[in-house]
């Protein structure tokens, strides 16, 4: 037994630790939004294992800075989080780097109210309690961008950081807020008791980057970290490709991971494939710059972000190298 144990240790050392240690990563709104589908698929189909990652599960985050903090606290400091929250964290001195692009459409995001509410448009929200997920989140930035579009200041209504997507739904249904942010599958699951107030895409367009993948500079600069990042991003890319090639199966896999309704997920995925909801990982600087409009409104940045200082493309699969 001692000999076998010694052989195992030697093998682990030769592998650089990539498969010797169980890992988990952070994906914002895991279990309540479909950002996590490529990871669920990659786990189920064995793509992580094929690339030497023993992925044990996904840690969620309620959006914004919460997901960033969860990433920093993890044994494997990798997370798919809101672009705005990542940039905010970097602005406040966190040693983070962006290593992968994520979702580049807000076509799935809307604000909802209880069925029968007098709220039917953004213009109806003056003086109301308007929910979003967390400070620095995608939903936070979208509200700020839409406020600016309408020429309203932030005192036009009360912005309430209500928590994750499920918490926004609960707050709407129990009357704690007048309208809250949601997306799929929560919208389709609860459509009978809700009504849309406005869709983000109708106010600011759909081509806006929601999420990016981040890690720490120390992890990215280490030999083991570099190996794991390349493996993670390769497996994630395969998960995206498999989702588009087999949307029904990917919906079933996600439903299993989320304990959701597979038939409903299949219906949603049909629309998401047309929307091109999932991206393989290339950085979309046009969409990223659009999201930065919210941070400019907050006063957190001035002018354009110099992406070359906070983006590292070296871990991306070769065909995903971005154009600056």
302-321 pLDDT per residue, tens: 999 999 999 999 999 999 97
For residue 22, the model assigns a pLDDT of: 64
Mean local confidence (pLDDT), 94-109: 96
Pick from 14-28, 45-59, 122-136: least confident: 14-28
> Per-residue pLDDT for 24 more than 70?
yes
Residue 2 clears pLDDT 60, i.e. is over it = no
Confidence of residue 7 (pLDDT cuts 50, 70, 90): very low
Q: Are 188 and 123 in contact (CB under 8 A)?
A: no
Of the pLDDT bands very low, low, confident and very high (cuts 50, 70, 90), residue 268 is: very high
All residues at 6 or more sequence positions from 316 whose CB lies less than 8 Å from its CB, including other chains: 99, 100, 233, 281, 282, 322
**pLDDT value at position 146?**
97
Assess contact for 79 and 28: CB atoms under 8 A. yes
In percent, the amount of the chain with pLDDT more than 90 equals 83
Q: Tens digit of pLDDT for each residue in 108-120?
A: 999 999 999 999 9
Q: What is the mean predicted confidence (pLDDT) over 231-250?
A: 98
**Digit-coded pLDDT (tens) for 165-217:** 999 999 999 999 999 999 999 999 999 999 999 999 999 999 999 999 999 99
What is the CA 81 to chain-centroid distance, rounded?
A: 5
pLDDT above 80: residue 67: yes
Note whether 294 and 73 are within 8 A (CB). Answer: no
What is the value of pTM for the model shown? 0.88
The answer, yes or no, to whether residue 61 has pLDDT greater than 90, is: no
pLDDT of residue 168: 97
Query: What stretch of H or E contains 144?
Result: helix 138-150
User: ω before 185 within 30° of 0 (cis)?
Assistant: yes
| Domains of the chain listed by start with CATH number | 16-105+208-315 (3.40.190.10), 110-204 (3.40.190.10)
pLDDT, position 322: 53
Give the mean model confidence (pLDDT) for residues 72-82: 89
Q: How far apart are the first and last CA of the chain?
A: 55
Distance (Å) of CA 192 to CA 60, 123, 250, 267, 278: 27, 24, 26, 16, 27
Residue pointed to by tokens 């909801």: 277
Looking at the predicted structure, is the pLDDT value of residue 11 above 90?
Answer: no
Q: Tokens representing 210?
A: 């929601």
């Amino acid at each position: 037994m001692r000999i076998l144990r010694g052989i195992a240790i030697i093998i682990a050392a030769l592998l650089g630790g990539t498969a010797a240690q169980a890992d988990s990563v952070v994906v914002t709104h895991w279990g309540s939004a479909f950002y996590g589908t490529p990871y669920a698929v990659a786990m189920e189909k064995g793509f992580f294992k094929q690339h030497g990652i023993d992925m044990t599960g996904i840690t969620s985050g309620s959006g914004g800075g919460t997901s960033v903090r969860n990433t920093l606290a993890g044994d494997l400091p990798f997370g798919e989080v809101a672009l705005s929250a990542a940039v905010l964290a970097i602005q406040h001195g966190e040693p983070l780097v962006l290593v992968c692009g994520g979702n580049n459409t807000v076509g799935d995001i809307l604000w909802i109210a209880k069925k029968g509410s007098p709220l039917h448009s953004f213009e109806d929200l003056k003086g109301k309690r308007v929910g979003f997920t967390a400070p620095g989140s995608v939903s936070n930035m979208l509200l700020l961008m839409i406020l600016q579009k309408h020429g309203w200041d932030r005192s036009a209504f009360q912005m309430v950081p209500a928590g994750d997507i499920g918490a926004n739904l609960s707050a709407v249904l129990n009357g704690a807020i007048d309208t809250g942010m949601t997306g799929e599958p929560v919208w389709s699951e609860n459509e009978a008791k809700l009504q849309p107030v406005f869709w983000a895409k109708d106010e600011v367009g759909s081509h806006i980057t929601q999420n990016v993948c981040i890690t720490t500079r120390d992890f990215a600069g280490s030999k083991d970290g570099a190996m794991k990042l390349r493996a993670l991003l390769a497996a994630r890319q395969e998960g995206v490709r498999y989702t588009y090639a087999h949307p029904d199966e990917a919906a079933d896999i996600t439903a299993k991971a989320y304990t959701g309704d597979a038939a409903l997920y299949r219906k949603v995925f049909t629309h998401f494939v047309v929307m091109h909801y999932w991206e393989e990982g290339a950085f979309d600087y046009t969409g990223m710059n659009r999201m930065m409009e919210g941070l400019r409104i907050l006063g957190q940045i001035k002018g354009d972000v110099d992406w070359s200082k906070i983006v590292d493309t070296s871990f991306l699969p070769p065909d995903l190298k971005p154009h600056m």
